[in-house]
A and B are shown apart, each in its own frame.
Chain A
């Protein structure tokens, strides 16, 4: 079970391996202990993981399913959340408002995809355009400030591990349980493998797909609410998250053609991307080099891993049937120890 060979066949391992490599390079370059780097990465990664988990669910729903509205949703939710919490004085209401904003946008996408049979990429693009318009309208003369209490909470790092990272890790475990242990998760995975077969097997395809887009919208809304409190609400708060969320899902080992979700892998991919940003900043490279490096690495990982066979019958790695959740729990230090050991 824990032999290196077994571990290497796990699809989620590669993101962590890449993250570890970058971490090692950072330590070598900066000449310092890596604890602080990890702590910083862990405080930034959870936002990307939240969005990535939503994107992962959508991608799992099968070929063509993608949510390109996550970027605009994050920006919109940031304003809505900060605005609401400062207007009502309630942080909880603020977060709920941000979440609701994400749900509304996702509902528009879902209706377009399922009711009007608009391809997902176009439907989420269109609803994203509507969301970004709403963002710009709200941003006009926006003066509210993020709640300092929540900001402090987000900055809290007991034992160097950010509180949010722990919460999101717990959410990731929940996602694993959701996918394996609930009828929703199983139905989603079945739909992603073969939508027609899932429909003939009596699964409620429309309801499951709609729920999936709503989940992605809600997670993006949540990420936006927290991110706007952590940094500040800006109209381009979510811009980078569109491409990053997709990249993180792929690096994490989720099948891009659907039918297999790897929640733990999202963490590996997110840490990899965040650490990479840190490395490039440390070395003092320009944004040009940063993009170039990111692009080359994504392509490298992608072409190295390959997509396996295009035939549906021959998946490169079979999903583990009843894996222990402890092995799937993503704590980078833990994984690192196992791979090196």
Chain B
């Protein structure tokens, strides 16, 4: 890690100011912090300390309280009990946090907090206006963000005058991280799932920048589901469970399985990490399986001559790096309007973005669950409530959805909401179920339940088409198509399916970096050992375990 060779920060917002005068004072201390929403105890007496110049990794299941803790640490919300101390100044419980107390604490949000209709520079003004002049602010903001983006993500391809809505998802994430990092002083940078939509190269350069921040005296709080990344970057790892930090350990010498165990995944670890073959049996694909859907040389709208075939009762995976055409295939299968797509039978769709395309917020679990099935249950357009209730009750039991059928959908945790939306699709009479990366950010227990469900449903003759950004999940498929640049580059069947294999073929053509985010100035081979962040950059790769 060669920090000195990195370009210096922009003049408008000098980063050097962040160097903490005394390492004795922690950047932020959360003492016995509790926070309750309605009946949910989001935080139950949590303690957390971030020291100056360190990278702290924060891991935990969905609903463990990570996001609430971050909101409290970033000063977005006050806590009910306990106190947060920022650079020695205490912010007591029960009060609305004042903005000036949290000025040096910055957070890059997973879903980004950029305004899509504004330019990148205007967004920078919004959040970093204090470091900018009153006059000619536009130019100063553009200059600052350009320098910072060049520093973190060389070759990002973002112009400060671009509107955020015109950027790719990876570019938006880069702009969001740059936005958060532009502060003076930058005492604590909170990164919430920063690499979720970044390519491996961008992730690598981000983690290099994280080291720069700490070298300058700032601290970084890294929240990620990618435990391997956390372990390779963080100095310390804090594990959250049920609203409090249960473990706080040095990252050195810690393995992924150890962390998963600490998170409470005793039984699920083996199946979910993909280190071992899945428990679910694989159907040997037979030649005589009737074909339910077929794409023949599908071209256009992000696809480039894709041919694939879905058999009855088959679980077909769409793998590869994010954004290589997998979602376009699902779209074709969902709405087969072009002639290159032939689909027999009915379909159901499980969206990945549940808040935007899944949840019906005013309704109960039962109502959310049966909305797709309703139309087949009904006779002549008249609903049959008794049958619907039975279906809902059945699925609530089968997936053990917490709160029961009568709970309000909006009150459920993300994982349970996702269960309802998956159940919605499987409760319908559809012959084929399309999964659009639905298990991202879902905790391991829920995932294990849902993997079992998918296998059970396939055994009963349902076809499943499954796009996932987590290559480990592909182990539950009968057949996997690996995508690259809108093409199928490999078809893996049965025992051929493995994370290593998928990763290998995803990068097969190797010379050019595949996603728009990844750019030429950084070497692309995932095996590079030049950087600390190299294993992390491989993301889901089962490549190197740093403790072996």
A touching B, CB within 8 angstroms:
yes
A181 within 8 A of B: yes
Given the complex, which residues of B lie within 8 Å of A202, measured CB to CB? Answer: 347-349, 372, 375, 428, 430
- Within the complex, the shortest CB–CB distance from A65 to chain B, in Å, comes to 16
Contacts A260-B362, A315-B410 given; indicate if A196 touches B349 (C-beta within 8 A). no
User: When chains A and B are docked, how far (Å) is the Cα of A181 from the Cα of B348?
Assistant: 23
Given the complex, which residues of A lie within 8 Å of B375, measured CB to CB? Answer: 183, 187, 202-203
Given the complex, which residues of A lie within 8 Å of B486, measured CB to CB? Answer: none
B385 within 8 A of A: yes
Q: Say yes or no: A182 contacts B383, CB within 8 Å.
A: yes
Contacts A183-B383, A315-B410, A321-B367 given; indicate if A200 touches B358 (C-beta within 8 A). yes
User: When chains A and B are docked, how far (Å) is the Cα of A198 from the Cα of B358?
Assistant: 8
Interface centre among B349, B363, B364, B408 (most CB of A within 10 A): B363
B371 within 8 A of A: yes
B60 within 8 A of A: no
Q: Say yes or no: A315 contacts B383, CB within 8 Å.
A: no
A34 within 8 A of B: no
Q: Say yes or no: A186 contacts B408, CB within 8 Å.
A: no
Q: Say yes or no: B358 contacts A186, CB within 8 Å.
A: no
A29 within 8 A of B: no
User: When chains A and B are docked, how far (Å) is the Cα of A230 from the Cα of B467?
Assistant: 62
Q: Report which of A183, A184, A200 forms a contact with B351, defined as CB distance below 8 A.
A: A200
B357 within 8 A of A: yes
B300 within 8 A of A: no
Extra inter-chain contacts (4) besides given A190-B360, A260-B362, A312-B359, CB under 8 Å: A194-B356, A312-B355, A313-B359, A321-B406
B361 within 8 A of A: yes
Q: Say yes or no: A183 contacts B381, CB within 8 Å.
A: yes
User: When chains A and B are docked, how far (Å) is the Cα of A186 from the Cα of B373?
Assistant: 12
Q: Say yes or no: B371 contacts A193, CB within 8 Å.
A: no
Q: Say yes or no: A321 contacts B364, CB within 8 Å.
A: yes
- Within the complex, the shortest CB–CB distance from B110 to chain A, in Å, comes to 17
CB nearest neighbor in A for B383:
A181
Q: Which 7 A-B pairs have the closest CB atoms?
A: A313-B410, A312-B361, A196-B357, A193-B360, A200-B349, A201-B372, A313-B361
- Within the complex, the shortest CB–CB distance from B464 to chain A, in Å, comes to 16
Given the complex, which residues of A lie within 8 Å of B349, measured CB to CB? Answer: 200-202
User: When chains A and B are docked, how far (Å) is the Cα of A202 from the Cα of B429?
Assistant: 11
Q: Say yes or no: B361 contacts A193, CB within 8 Å.
A: yes
CB nearest neighbor in B for A192:
B362
Q: Report which of A180, A184, A198 forms a contact with B360, defined as CB distance below 8 A.
A: A198
Interface residues on B, range: 20 to 34
Q: Say yes or no: B357 contacts A181, CB within 8 Å.
A: no
User: When chains A and B are docked, how far (Å) is the Cα of A203 from the Cα of B357?
Assistant: 13
- Within the complex, the shortest CB–CB distance from A259 to chain B, in Å, comes to 5
B-contact bits for A249-269, CB 8 A (1 contact / 0 none): 000000100011000000000
CB nearest neighbor in A for B370:
A186
8 Å CB interface, B83-135 against A:
none
CB nearest neighbor in A for B356:
A196
Interface centre among B355, B371, B428 (most CB of A within 10 A): B371
- Within the complex, the shortest CB–CB distance from B430 to chain A, in Å, comes to 8
8 Å CB interface, A292-329 against B:
312-315, 318-319, 321-322
Given the complex, which residues of B lie within 8 Å of A111, measured CB to CB? Answer: none
Given the complex, which residues of B lie within 8 Å of A318, measured CB to CB? Answer: 362, 364, 408
Q: Say yes or no: A194 contacts B360, CB within 8 Å.
A: yes
8 Å CB interface, A187-212 against B:
187, 189-190, 193-194, 196-203
Q: Would you list 9 pairs from A and B whose C-beta atoms are within 8 A, ordered by A residue? A: A180-B383, A187-B371, A196-B351, A197-B358, A200-B357, A202-B348, A202-B428, A255-B362, A315-B362
8 Å CB interface, B364-417 against A:
364, 367, 371-372, 374-375, 378, 381-383, 385, 406, 408, 410
CB nearest neighbor in A for B358:
A197
User: When chains A and B are docked, how far (Å) is the Cα of A315 from the Cα of B367?
Assistant: 15
Q: Say yes or no: A193 contacts B363, CB within 8 Å.
A: yes
User: When chains A and B are docked, how far (Å) is the Cα of A259 from the Cα of B363?
Assistant: 9
Q: Report which of B351, B358, B362, B382 forms a contact with A319, defined as CB distance below 8 A.
A: B362
User: When chains A and B are docked, how far (Å) is the Cα of A49 from the Cα of B367?
Assistant: 29
B51 within 8 A of A: no
- Within the complex, the shortest CB–CB distance from A190 to chain B, in Å, comes to 5
B225 within 8 A of A: no
User: When chains A and B are docked, how far (Å) is the Cα of A201 from the Cα of B423?
Assistant: 11
User: When chains A and B are docked, how far (Å) is the Cα of A199 from the Cα of B372?
Assistant: 10
Q: Say yes or no: A197 contacts B360, CB within 8 Å.
A: yes
User: When chains A and B are docked, how far (Å) is the Cα of A253 from the Cα of B381?
Assistant: 26
Q: Say yes or no: A193 contacts B372, CB within 8 Å.
A: no
Q: Report which of B348, B355, B362, B372 forms a contact with A259, defined as CB distance below 8 A.
A: B362
User: When chains A and B are docked, how far (Å) is the Cα of A107 from the Cα of B356?
Assistant: 30
- Within the complex, the shortest CB–CB distance from A236 to chain B, in Å, comes to 38
Q: Report which of A197, A255, A314 forms a contact with B357, defined as CB distance below 8 A.
A: A197
User: When chains A and B are docked, how far (Å) is the Cα of A321 from the Cα of B364?
Assistant: 9
Given the complex, which residues of B lie within 8 Å of A194, measured CB to CB? Answer: 356-361
- Within the complex, the shortest CB–CB distance from B245 to chain A, in Å, comes to 27
B424 within 8 A of A: yes
Q: Report which of B381, B408, B424 forms a contact with A201, defined as CB distance below 8 A.
A: B424
Q: Say yes or no: A314 contacts B410, CB within 8 Å.
A: yes
Given the complex, which residues of B lie within 8 Å of A319, measured CB to CB? Answer: 362-363
User: When chains A and B are docked, how far (Å) is the Cα of A260 from the Cα of B347?
Assistant: 28
User: When chains A and B are docked, how far (Å) is the Cα of A200 from the Cα of B352?
Assistant: 11
Given the complex, which residues of A lie within 8 Å of B382, measured CB to CB? Answer: 181-183
Given the complex, which residues of A lie within 8 Å of B362, measured CB to CB? Answer: 189, 193, 255, 259-260, 315, 318-319
User: When chains A and B are docked, how far (Å) is the Cα of A184 from the Cα of B363?
Assistant: 16
